[in-house]
Amino acid sequence: MNSPGSFSRLSATLLCALLIFPSALAAAPTNGSCDTIDQGYRCSPEIAHYWGQYSLWFSVPSEINVDPPKDCSVSFASVLSRHGGRDPTASKTMAYRLTVAQIQSTATSFPGEFAFLKDYNYTLGADLLTDVGRQEMVNSGAHFYKRYAKLVANKPPFVRSSGQARVIESANKWLEGYAQATKNSTIGSIDLTIPEGAGVNNTLSHEICTAFEDGPISKLGDNVQDIWVSKFVPPIQARINSQLGTNLSVTATVNLMDMCPFDTLTSPTAAVSPFCYLFTLDEWHQYDYYESLGKYYGYGNGNPLGPTQGVGYVNELLARLTETPVDDHTNTNTTLDSDPATFPLDRKVYADFSHDNDMSAIFAGLGLYNSTKPLSNSTVQGTNVTNGFSAAWTVPFAARMYVEKLSCTGEKEESVRIIVNDRVMPLEFCGGDEVGRCTLGKFVESQSFARSGGHWDQCFVDATVSARR
Ligand SMILES: *[C@@H]1O[C@H](CO)[C@@H](O)[C@H](O)[C@H]1NC(C)=O
Ligand SMILES: *[C@@H]1O[C@H](CO)[C@@H](O)[C@H](O)[C@H]1NC(C)=O
Ligand SMILES: *[C@@H]1O[C@H](CO)[C@@H](O)[C@H](O)[C@H]1NC(C)=O
Ligand SMILES: *[C@@H]1O[C@H](CO)[C@@H](O)[C@H](O)[C@H]1NC(C)=O
Ligand SMILES: *[C@@H]1O[C@H](CO)[C@@H](O)[C@H](O)[C@H]1NC(C)=O
Ligand SMILES: *[C@@H]1O[C@H](CO)[C@@H](O)[C@H](O)[C@H]1NC(C)=O
Ligand SMILES: *[C@@H]1O[C@H](CO)[C@@H](O)[C@H](O)[C@H]1NC(C)=O
Ligand SMILES: *[C@@H]1O[C@H](CO)[C@@H](O)[C@H](O)[C@H]1NC(C)=O
Ligand SMILES: *[C@@H]1O[C@H](CO)[C@@H](O)[C@H](O)[C@H]1NC(C)=O
């Protein structure tokens, strides 16, 4: 595994895979590409679909057929997308580098699947997309175009991006993939970039709800993760330390697990990294739960003000669906949203680019996971959305929510469907039918939480008061 060449990387990975997980061979790519437009990331799914928000996008199984129902045509399509796969954030990349250095300077042996670590060179950067992440976004643009080709002909999307570099680049890569799929050589451009930062009203980046940003509940996600870490990590830590002869801390053990997705994101073929084979499938399920807890209690239904952070975007979505002005008093920017140049209401195709945390809040604001079993703060209950929320199913890299309106023969009113990473959401809260449809009227009615501003009134009350809620 010393050569960085993709062939040896792939074959070494396959060898490891065969030794530990014989089923991995079946999942290996036949044409050298793990990432595909239709299925997303398809190599070693038994590992790669359990990395929480660090999973590469994959097409999530859907109980309801994702194809538009018979006798219906799509009359409106909107996508809300996360940026593609990136390097670790700046503080994380420093921590990972130190963990690798600690292992290399203190390990007494590198047995079996640990052998590659002896000479592993840490080369990960910080914060920006990797080439694999860029390709995810190109594929995502093509995925959207393929699905909505009939609708979007001569109707270029209205594109907004949150202001961070990796989000902007993701939007541009998505437009590139979209243009490639249309065979139109002109690549579209972002119509509006909304800056990120304290004091900025940006429905694609939370910043301004004081109690959520700075109050005790801003620590809730971390606190719940810590409880679970204290249960699931020690046995893994003991095993790794006894195999390597090291004294890695709990945190360093989690860092080593994080290296699996992030090192995978540096591989030109994107076959899963050798770091991934240092852990068992059960351990990956526990890790997926760990990451899911962070999103659920940090930004989702588990956080008293999580769903409220998504309210501004939901109200913008309702405005677009109904072609009526935005009615919101949370984090929308009224200057932008009242100007047709920055918030048109007459378009049929929209694309917005954001982050996992904001999307988690928006999904919660919509109520999309109101009927899944709440995540326990102390035991693994489930690793998929069917029986419990999973970050891998909701906000992997290049995650995407499609909201579509359908016009169906014999029906007077248009209907709405929501598709999260290719999984049709049942919309049980507005009478979703067997194909996941609600009438537009019933859908708007169901969104009373957002229409009434969520709990925005609690954002600016004394922090100790909001903590007691
Ligand atoms: C790591 O870098 C060193 C120095 O540049 C080089 O000699 C070594 O071959 C590299 N190892 C791997 C596994 O690429
Ligand atoms: C590899 O095959 C997949 C699935 O058939 C396809 O989507 C993808 O575009 C192919 N990749 C290349 C590089 O040919
Ligand atoms: C090609 O794409 C550009 C940019 O999105 C768009 O303005 C133009 O209308 C498209 N041309 C056709 C023929 O669809
Ligand atoms: C709202 O948008 C306008 C126009 O881009 C900008 O000048 C203003 O600073 C924004 N206000 C807030 C609070 O974000
Ligand atoms: C975890 O859940 C238990 C039981 O519901 C609760 O008492 C405890 O406060 C929770 N811990 C955190 C950090 O939320
Ligand atoms: C292992 O590290 C912990 C702190 O993380 C330290 O308290 C302990 O003494 C170390 N053990 C050895 C054998 O170095
Ligand atoms: C920004 O949001 C705050 C808090 O809801 C609101 O008071 C303010 O009017 C908004 N600013 C703009 C320009 O919309
Ligand atoms: C989701 O649950 C919250 C909390 O119970 C509720 O306020 C909201 O209306 C629900 N959303 C939908 C769409 O039913
Ligand atoms: C999700 O969980 C349900 C219930 O435990 C199980 O039947 C189903 O097979 C799981 N689906 C996937 C894709 O893991």
Q: What is the DSSP string of 116-163?
A: GGGGPPP---SSSBPHHHHHHHHHHHHHHHHHHHHHHTT-PPEEEEES
CA separation for the pair 228, 236 (Å, rounded)? 13
- The amino acid at 392: A
Q: Phi and psi at residue 105, in whole multiples of 5°?
A: -95, -15
Residues with CB under 6 A from ligand 8: 367, 370, 429, 446, 448-449
- Residue closest to 402 by CA, chosen among 452, 442, 368: 368
Mutating to test ligand 1, I would choose from 119, 266, 273 the residue with most ligand atoms within 8 A of its C-beta, which is 119
Sign of the dihedral defined by the CA atoms of residues 60, 64, 67, 73, in that order: negative
Choose, from 83, 143, 285, 355, the residue flagged as catalytic: 83
What spacing in Å lies between the alpha carbon of 81 and ligand 8's midpoint? 23
pLDDT tens string 108-129: 999 999 999 999 999 999 999 9
If you average pLDDT over residues 93-117, what whole number do you get? 98
What spacing in Å lies between the alpha carbon of 386 and ligand 9's midpoint? 6
CA separation for the pair 382, 50 (Å, rounded)? 11
Q: Is the CB–ligand 1 distance for residue 5 below 6 Å?
A: no
pLDDT tens string 198-246: 899 999 999 999 999 999 999 999 999 999 999 999 999 999 999 999 9
- In 274-373, where do the E strands start and end? 349-354
% of the chain exceeding 70 in pLDDT: 90
If you average pLDDT over residues 282-301, what whole number do you get? 96
Residue the block writes with tokens 């070494």: 12
Contact in structure between 443 and 430 (CB atoms under 8 Å) = yes
- Residue closest to 122 by CA, chosen among 88, 102, 92, 96: 96
Mutating to test ligand 8, I would choose from 315, 317, 369, 429 the residue with most ligand atoms within 8 A of its C-beta, which is 429
- The amino acid at 466: S
CA separation for the pair 270, 10 (Å, rounded)? 9
- Confidence (pLDDT) at 267: 83
CA separation for the pair 261, 293 (Å, rounded)? 18
What spacing in Å lies between the alpha carbon of 26 and ligand 9's midpoint? 20
Q: Is the CB–ligand 3 distance for residue 312 below 6 Å?
A: no
Question: Closest residue (by CA) to atom 13 of ligand 2?
Answer: 33
For every residue of 11-51, DSSP letters joined together read HHHHHHHHHH-TTHHHHS-SSS-SEETTTEE-SSHHHHT-S
pLDDT for residue 148 is more than 90: yes
- Confidence (pLDDT) at 202: 98
CA separation for the pair 150, 139 (Å, rounded)? 18
If you average pLDDT over residues 390-402, what whole number do you get? 97
Residue the block writes with tokens 């009350």: 461
Tokens of 355: 């982050």
Residue the block writes with tokens 């097409």: 59
271 band by pLDDT with thresholds 50, 70 and 90: confident
Question: Closest residue (by CA) to atom 2 of ligand 7?
Answer: 331
Torsion angle in degrees (nearest 10) through CA of 353, 355, 360, 361: -80
Residue 83 known to be catalytic: yes
What spacing in Å lies between the alpha carbon of 420 and ligand 2's midpoint? 22
- Confidence (pLDDT) at 388: 77
Which atom, in ligand 9's list, is nearest to the CA of 61? 13
Sign of the dihedral defined by the CA atoms of residues 394, 427, 437, 413, in that order: negative
CA separation for the pair 429, 448 (Å, rounded)? 11
Which atom, in ligand 7's list, is nearest to the CA of 332? 14
DSSP state, 30? Answer: S
State the average pLDDT for the chain. 91
Tokens of 92: 């994380």
Ligand nearest to the backbone CA of 224: 5
- Confidence (pLDDT) at 268: 67
Q: Where are the domains of the chain?
A: 24-88+128-205+280-460
Contact in structure between 259 and 320 (CB atoms under 8 Å) = no
CA separation for the pair 92, 178 (Å, rounded)? 32
User: How many CB atoms neighbour CB 132 within 10 A?
Assistant: 22
Mutating to test ligand 6, I would choose from 106, 247, 248, 253 the residue with most ligand atoms within 8 A of its C-beta, which is 247
What spacing in Å lies between the alpha carbon of 200 and ligand 4's midpoint? 7
3-state secondary structure of 397: strand
What spacing in Å lies between the alpha carbon of 155 and ligand 3's midpoint? 8
33 band by pLDDT with thresholds 50, 70 and 90: confident
If you average pLDDT over residues 13-34, what whole number do you get? 45
Residues with CB under 6 A from ligand 6: 247, 249
384 band by pLDDT with thresholds 50, 70 and 90: low
pLDDT for residue 333 is more than 90: yes
If you average pLDDT over residues 294-305, what whole number do you get? 97
Contact in structure between 216 and 222 (CB atoms under 8 Å) = no
CA separation for the pair 57, 69 (Å, rounded)? 24
If you average pLDDT over residues 426-442, what whole number do you get? 97
- Confidence (pLDDT) at 28: 46
pTM attached to this predicted model: 0.90
pLDDT for residue 25 is more than 60: no
434 band by pLDDT with thresholds 50, 70 and 90: very high
If you average pLDDT over residues 414-429, what whole number do you get? 97
Choose, from 263, 356, 358, 422, the residue flagged as catalytic: 356
Q: Phi and psi at residue 89, in whole multiples of 5°?
A: -65, 165
Q: Which CATH superfamily is domain 24-88+128-205+280-460 in?
A: Phosphoglycerate mutase-like (3.40.50.1240)
pLDDT for residue 10 is more than 90: no
Residues with CB under 6 A from ligand 2: 31, 33, 36-38
Q: How far is Cα of residue 448 from the mean position of the Cα atoms in its chain?
A: 25
pLDDT for residue 446 is more than 90: yes
| Angle, CA of 204, 180 and 170, to the nearest 5° | 25
5 band by pLDDT with thresholds 50, 70 and 90: very low
pLDDT for residue 297 is more than 50: yes
3-state secondary structure of 357: helix
Q: Which residue has the higher pLDDT, 295 or 383?
A: 295
Contact in structure between 165 and 196 (CB atoms under 8 Å) = no
- The amino acid at 314: V
pLDDT for residue 3 is more than 60: no
pLDDT for residue 302 is more than 60: yes
CA separation for the pair 450, 307 (Å, rounded)? 9
Which atom, in ligand 7's list, is nearest to the CA of 456? 5
pLDDT tens string 166-175: 999 999 999 9
